[in-house]
Chains A and B, each alone.
Chain A
Amino acid sequence: MYIIIVGGGKVGYYLAKTLLSEGHEVLVLEKDAARCDAICEELGGVCTRGDGCEARTLADAGTERADMLIAVTDEDEDNLVACQVAKHKFNVSRTIARINNPKNENIFKKLGIDVTVSSTNLILEHIEEEVPTHPLVHLLTLKGGNLEIVEMRVPPNSPVVGKRMKDVAFPPDSVVCLVIGKWGAYVPTSDTIVEAEAQLVAVTKPEAEEALRAAIRGS
C-alpha cells in the first residue's frame, strides 16, 4: 500500500518506521526542514518537506494514487484539513486523523473523517487503569481523636460487590457508618450487601486509609 503520513514528529516518525518495516510504501510530509533531514537520514529518503494541508504539496506527493493518508501533526485543525483535502480533492479512500484535544473526536466524526485516534484519550485511559479512579474523599477530620470521616465509591467491577459487610476485609480501625445506594441512604449492618457504585461513608484513622481503599477496590 502507498501510505502518506502528514507530520514528522515522534508519532509520524515511528509510524513511518513501522509501516516501512511491514513493507509499505511510505511518504512523510513535514514542514520543518531539519526534522525532514533527520527522518531522511534515519529511514532513507521517505520524507519530503512541505505542508501536507496544501493541495499542491499533496499533488506533488502523488496523493491521487495513495491508498491511505494518516495525519498525525500536533495541531488538530491541520490534521482535519489534511484529511479533508486528501479525501475530497484526491479521492483517497481512507483517511485517519490524530486528535490531540479529546473534545474534537465528535466534531471530526461529524465532519466526515473515517477514523480518528485520540492520543490524549488513549494515554488517559491507560493512566486511569494504573491510578485509583475512585479516590477517597475527605469529608471531616474529627478534633481530638486521630480520626477522620471519608467517602468512597464502590467500583462496579470490585470483587466486594455482592458480599456482606462482615465479609469485606475492612482494616480494624475503620467502620462504615453510612451507605448511600440506589435506594437512598441507610446505616449498614454486618449483613448489608455491598452494592456497586454505592457511596460508603466511613470513620477511619489516617494511617488506615490505604488499607480501606484497598478493601473497597478488592486489591
Chain B
Amino acid sequence: MNIVIMGCGRVGAQLAAILDEEGHKVTILDRDTYSFRRLPGNFRGTALVGDGTDEDILIRAGIEEAHAFVAVTQGDNRNVMASQIAKHIFNVPKVACRVYDPLREEMYHALGLETISPTTVGAKLLKDLIMGQGG
C-alpha cells in the first residue's frame, strides 16, 4: 500500500517504521527536518519536509496515489484539516486522524472521519491497569 503519514513524532515515526518493514511504500511529512531523526537508519520510505495542510505538499507526497493517510501531528486542528483534505479533496480511501480533545474527536467521528483519541484510550488503559483489569 502507498501510505502518507503526516507528523514525524514518536507515533508517526514508529508507525512509519512498522509499515516500512512490512513492505509498504511510506511517505512521512513533517514541518521540521529535525523530527526525522526518529526514523530508523534502515527506513526505505520518503521523508518530506512540509506542512500537510498544504495541497501542493500533499501532492508532492503522492497523496493522489495513496491508499491511506494518517495525521498524527501535535495539533488537533491541523490533523483534522489535513484529514479532511485527504478524504474530501483527494478521495484517499482510508484516512485516520489523531485528535487529543475527546469532544472534538467525538464530533469529527460523527462527521465521518476515522478518528482516535489517545486521551480517552490512554485514560481507560491506565484506569484498567490500576484497577487490575488490564491483563
For residue A80, which residues in chain B have a CB less than 8 angstroms away from its CB?
77, 80-81, 84
The answer to whether B75 and A77 touch across the interface, beta carbons within 8 angstroms, is yes
Complex contacts, B64 vs chain A, CB 8 Å: none
Closest to A78 in B: B77
**B55 at interface by CB-CB < 8 Å:** yes
- A111-B53 Cα distance, complex, nearest whole Å: 13
- How distant is the Cα of A84 from the Cα of B21 in the complex, in angstroms? 37
Known: A107-B85, A107-B89, A110-B89. A77 touches B107 (CB 8 A): no
Distance in Å: Cβ of A175 to nearest Cβ of chain B: 43
**Any A CB within 8 A of the CB of B65:** no
CB distance from A97 to the nearest CB of B (A): 11
Closest to B101 in A: A54
What does DSSP make chain A's interface, helix, strand, loop or mixed? helix
The answer to whether A110 touches B77, judged by C-beta atoms less than 8 angstroms apart, is no
| Size band of the interface chain B makes with A | 20 to 34
Within 8 A of A (CB), among B50-103: 53-56, 75-78, 80-81, 84-85, 88-89, 101, 103
Most chain A CB inside 10 Å of its own CB: which residue of B56, B78, B110: B78
Known A103-B54, A107-B89; contact A55-B81, beta-carbon cutoff 8 A = no
Tell me the B98-116 residues at the A interface (CB within 8 Å).
101, 103-104, 107, 110-111
Known A53-B77, A80-B77; judge A103-B88 contact (CB<8 A): no
Which residue on A lies nearest to B84, using beta carbons?
Answer: A111
> A interface, how many residues as a size bin?
20 to 34
Question: In the assembled complex, which residues on chain A have CB atoms less than 8 Å from the CB atom of B76?
Answer: 53, 81
Chain A min CB distance to B102 (Å): 9
Query: At the interface, yes or no: A75 with Cβ under 8 Å from chain B?
Result: yes
CB-CB nearest in chain B for A53: B77
A210 to B75, CA, bound (A): 50
B88 touches A110 (CB 8 A): yes
Q: Are A103 and B77 in contact (CB under 8 A)?
A: no
Residue of A nearest to B75 (CB): A77
| Contacting pair B81 A103 (CB below 8 A) | no
CA–CA, A55 and B104, complex, Å: 6
| Residues of the B chain whose Cβ atoms lie less than 8 Å from the Cβ of A78 | 77
Q: Does A138 contact B (CB under 8 A)?
A: no
A104 and B89 alpha carbons, distance in the complex (Å): 12
Alpha-carbon gap, A55 to B80, bound state (A): 14
Contact A54 B104 (CB under 8 A): yes
In-complex Cβ contact of B81 among A56, A81, A85, A89 (8 A): A81
Q: Given A81-B80, A103-B55, is A55 in contact with B107 using a C-beta cutoff of 8 Å?
A: yes
Q: In the bound complex, do residue A77 and residue B104 qualify as a contact, i.e. CB atoms below 8 Å apart?
A: no
A88 at the A/B interface (Cβ < 8 Å)? yes
What 9 pairs across the A-B complex have the smallest Cβ distances? A55-B103, A77-B77, A77-B81, A81-B77, A77-B78, A78-B77, A80-B81, A89-B107, A111-B84
What are some 22 contacts across the A-B interface (CB < 8 A)? A53-B76, A53-B77, A54-B101, A54-B104, A55-B101, A55-B104, A76-B53, A77-B78, A80-B80, A80-B81, A84-B80, A84-B111, A88-B110, A88-B111, A103-B54, A103-B55, A104-B53, A107-B81, A107-B89, A110-B88, A110-B89, A111-B84
Instruction: Using CB atoms and an 8 Å cutoff, list the residues of chain A in contact with chain B.
Output: 53-56, 75-78, 80-81, 84-85, 88-89, 101, 103-104, 107, 110-111
